Structures are given as C-alpha cells and as structure tokens.
Structure 1
C-alpha cells in the first residue's frame, strides 16, 4: 500500500495497491481522490481491488483528473488549484501511465465536475490514448464518458476503448 499525498494533505497524486502475486498492472483514472491513503481504503478503492483481481491483475495504481481530495466532487468548484499543483498532477499521471500495463479511465459523467475542469477530461483521455498502451473501460455513460466502477458488478467486462472523443 502506497500513496503520494501533498505535504498539506489536500492533494493525492498517486495511490497503489498490490492485489495478488502475478498479473498485470492496471491504472484507474477517476475525477478526484477521496479519503483513501497509504493505509486506508475507501469504497472506490475496494471496488478497484475487486476488479483488478477479476481481471487477473497483480496490482493497481490510481490517478485522477484533479488531485484535490474531496468526498464530494462539487467541492472542486470552490477550490483553486495552483499551477504547481496542476503540473505536479500531470507529471504523476505520466508516471502512472508509464508504470501500468492497462489504462482504465472511469470517472463517470463529466457533467458532475465544475465547468472549468471539463476540458481536463479530454486532455487526460488523450494522454491515455496516445500512450501506446491498451485503454479499456467498464462501459460508457449516455454522454460518452467512461463509467465509474462503484455501482458496477464484478462481472462487468473491461472493453477496449474504440470511441473517438
């Protein structure tokens, strides 16, 4: 169990969990981190753990479109992210992409995020798609965004990303 969290505790740039002895490394990309850290899991992290096992993964890494930690995505609207924090998140996303075998965007409908962040989803998706690594998803929402895993059954297949945004 590992996490990279800012000194102030307000930002989480990376979260890692070992799941089993052998298999691939999955990278999951959400909207923003919640309460999970190096020693505790939240509901979404527990779900990623299960999906990693089901799909034969050895470990998973988590990155987010925004690194600001909040239990409610609406809090991102009232939060000012400094250019340094934004650049730090991009650097960590690049490392996560490099360290993973399979990339899985799963942020749900972007409409829940503040308007000023919505273009960042396209930027992160472009990073994933131009990496040369397989990009998979748990299905797409009616708006074309990758579904969030929390309410999905473990039987939900990972599907190759073929839809151009």
Structure 2
C-alpha cells in the first residue's frame, strides 16, 4: 500500500493506492478540517490520484462545498482503476484487497455518505454488500434500475435523498 498526502493551495490531498497503482482504495480532499466531511462511494476509480482530480472528483468537491462540508473522501465498490467500467468484468479481482475495510473505516469519519456508483453496481453483488456495511446511505438520484446515479449525470443543484 502506498499512502501519500500533500498540501496544495490550503487543501490537503491524499490517496491510498496499491504498490503498483492499479488499485485506489481511498482518495481525499480536505479544505476545512473544522467542518464535517462527506464520503462518496463510486463504482471504480478512474484517473484521479493524490496529485490530480478528474471530473468526478471535481463534481463531488462542488457538491460538498455547496452543502457546507469541509472535505470529501472518495471510495468505490471496486478499487480497480480504469476509465471504463467494462474493464471491471475482465480482471480477476476488481474489488481489491481489503476494500471493504477502507470503505468502513472512512465512512466512520464522515457525517454524510453518498452512494453514487451508477449502473454497474450490481456486478458481483457489490452494491448489496456495501449497503450492508453502511447503514445510513444517501444518494443524489436513482437511475432506472434503482441504483444511485453517478455524480456527473445529475444536476449541480441536485438535493440528496435517503438510499437505504
């Protein structure tokens, strides 16, 4: 495991990745440690890391700031890093070692937990498993299959709703 963090423009940036950087277990951005934090649970990590934000991370930061939080933790149903969810079906272990432990550990640090994994969450029953781990889940909106929508597919002023 590689844990890295740094301070950049008054924001603490960090991530926990596997040694080969193919798996990301948690990413955080904290701009005000006096305020509560929010955790987003996505499907799988894309290109964001301890140094760079992707569009999803930027959108999650925007929601958290709008709601008055001081930072975010980003975890995922699957820790395998890929720009396409279809690649999850092609790897032997898309969940990653100890991913549930990281989800639980960082959920305990947050006042609000948002499920936002989109359409592929039912693969390997991951959405069901994670819903058992986290009792008080919210989401931005539900898609047609009843799974929580991805942050990039909802309006910027979307209000949260109870998920489980």
Check whether TM > 0.5: yes
Indicate conservation of the 8 Å contact 1:27/1:63, yes or no: yes
2:22 matched to 1:10? yes
TM-score between both structures, scaled by the size of structure 1? 0.85
Tell me which residue corresponds to 1:40.
52
- The 8 Å contact of residues 16 and 61 in structure 1, kept in 2 or not, is answered as yes
1:91 aligns with 2:91: no
Contact 1:137-1:146 within 8 A present in 2 as well: yes
Alignment of 1:1-165 (within 5 A): 1-20=13-32, 22-81=34-93, 86-110=96-120, 117-129=123-135, 134-162=136-164
Asked if the contact 1:109–1:147 (Cα under 8 Å) also holds between the matched residues in 2, the reply is yes
Unaligned runs of 5+ in 2: 1-12
Which structure has more helix as a fraction of its residues?
1
Return the TM-score normalized by structure 2.
Answer: 0.86
Paired with 2:62 and 2:83, the residues of 1 have a C-alpha distance of 21
Greater relative contact order: 1 or 2 (C-alpha under 8 angstroms, separation 6 or more)? 1
The answer for unaligned runs of 5 or more in structure 1 is none
Give how far 1:21 is off.
Answer: 5.5
Root mean square deviation, CA, Å: 1.8
